[in-house]
Structure 1
């Protein structure tokens, strides 16, 4: 009897592990399909199953549609990005530096992990960042606290969020097209975001420099980080 129970447990675990591997395979294939898709186009299910080397039937055993896959990837990415930002920069007292960190992280990752950039630059990623996940308030809270401390200036919190997130996504799209980590472009993009939030150029440049230095110091906590020179 014990041998039979152990055998059943093994089969259950084996089947569960197989499902997890196929699920992860389809997620990875979807991201790869986004990277391979021509600019301005979204991949379709045929692209995903071609990359994954599985049948359409296999795909539908795990997902009802490609929208479902996109939603899962989007929620996962948003949650990971927000968690990383919170873990790495919440302890930084200068709120201007914390605000500059967001665009820098997004743009650096776009260059270091092109599949990530290919996905976030082609979907409505703001929807995932502004979803039901409690972590979605991190950006808003940071902006509001920076405004209360007089470090940034804006009248509409929603407009400020769209500035930070929107510019970061557009920057990721450009980096994906060029395929290089252009330090001058990343610096200037993050600086312009800070200018838009009411800082002077010297203040904005100082915040960007400090944010990048801090990011390099804690980069070993980011699985996507690739060693780079100073930007």
Structure 2
């Protein structure tokens, strides 16, 4: 039942935005009673906040098994960003939701703290990245993801926009331009499917191939 409420809300918020999505909209779309809604959530805002965490958590967990195979922390960060961006682009409701509600902060999201922060810290330790506060590094990563997803919702988004965005983020983290481009155009591994997840673990065909120069 909780998943049904999440799935219905995901589509509604992607289409209408959180401010225009009411409890009545959610219970009608999910075909549940008002009492059932309040059994799980005390207000629409609570539902939105929890759903944002679930969506972000799922994307990170789907990317992590592929990312962890890479030894270089810069490659991990770059590949993780690309996987999340392309996963969202392949799931339009997820993309619309992420754009409208943004990306949860690391403090609220254990997976972001555990995996992304791990790779940023290792990149700083190995001097792959310029010395900076971890929070700034997390902001660069999360804002790049949200901005790229937003841009890729446009009908005529550049074919390699995700790769351009990731290369820019890597440069902001301190990676040399040519190295950033190399990492951002590496062959993209497949995401890991999650049983009972809200997203289809399939990337667009174009995402799995290196963009043409």
Per the normalisation by structure 1, the TM-score is 0.76
**Structure-1 residue corresponding to 2:21:** 43
Distance 1:179 1:30, change over 3 A: farther
More helix by share: 1
The offset of 1:220, in angstroms, is 6.3
Distance 1:214 1:174, change over 3 A: closer
**Aligned equivalent of 1:32, options 11, 17, 30:** 11
Q: Is the Cα–Cα contact under 8 Å of residues 29 and 52 in structure 1 kept in the other structure?
A: yes
**Aligned equivalent of 2:144, options 156, 167, 176:** 167
**Structure-2 residue corresponding to 1:66:** 44
What does residue range 101-112 of structure 1 map to in structure 2 within 5 Å? 101-112=79-90
Q: Is the Cα–Cα contact under 8 Å of residues 108 and 181 in structure 1 kept in the other structure?
A: no
The offset of 1:109, in angstroms, is 1.7
Distance 1:80 1:101, change over 3 A: same
**Structure-1 residue corresponding to 2:197:** none
Higher relative contact order (CA 8 A, sep 6+): 2
The offset of 1:203, in angstroms, is 0.4
Give the structure with higher Rg (CA).
Answer: 1
Give the aligned CA root-mean-square deviation in angstroms.
2.5
**Aligned equivalent of 2:133, options 138, 147, 156:** 156
The offset of 1:25, in angstroms, is 2.1
Task: Tell me how far apart the structure 2 counterparts of residues 102 and 220 of structure 1 sit (CA, whole Å).
Answer: 12
Count of matched residue positions in the alignment of Structure 1 and Structure 2: 203
The offset of 1:83, in angstroms, is 2.2
Distance 1:132 1:186, change over 3 A: closer
Q: Is the Cα–Cα contact under 8 Å of residues 27 and 33 in structure 2 kept in the other structure?
A: yes
Residue 125 (structure 1) aligned with residue 98 (structure 2)? no
Runs of 4+ in 1 over 6 A off after TM superposition: none
Residue 187 (structure 1) aligned with residue 167 (structure 2)? no
**Structure-2 residue corresponding to 1:89:** 67
The offset of 1:132, in angstroms, is 5.8
Could you list the runs of 5+ residues in structure 2 that have no partner in the other structure? 195-199
The offset of 1:76, in angstroms, is 2.0
The offset of 1:55, in angstroms, is 4.5
The offset of 1:27, in angstroms, is 1.5
**Structure-1 residue corresponding to 2:182:** 206
Q: Is the Cα–Cα contact under 8 Å of residues 5 and 26 in structure 2 kept in the other structure?
A: yes
Task: Tell me how far apart the structure 2 counterparts of residues 141 and 219 of structure 1 sit (CA, whole Å).
Answer: 19
Task: Tell me how far apart the structure 2 counterparts of residues 126 and 135 of structure 1 sit (CA, whole Å).
Answer: 9
**How big is each residue's C-alpha offset from its partner over 1:131-173, in whole Å with a ceiling of 9 and x where there is no partner?**
2636623211211101211212132221111011112112212
Q: Is the Cα–Cα contact under 8 Å of residues 35 and 115 in structure 1 kept in the other structure?
A: yes
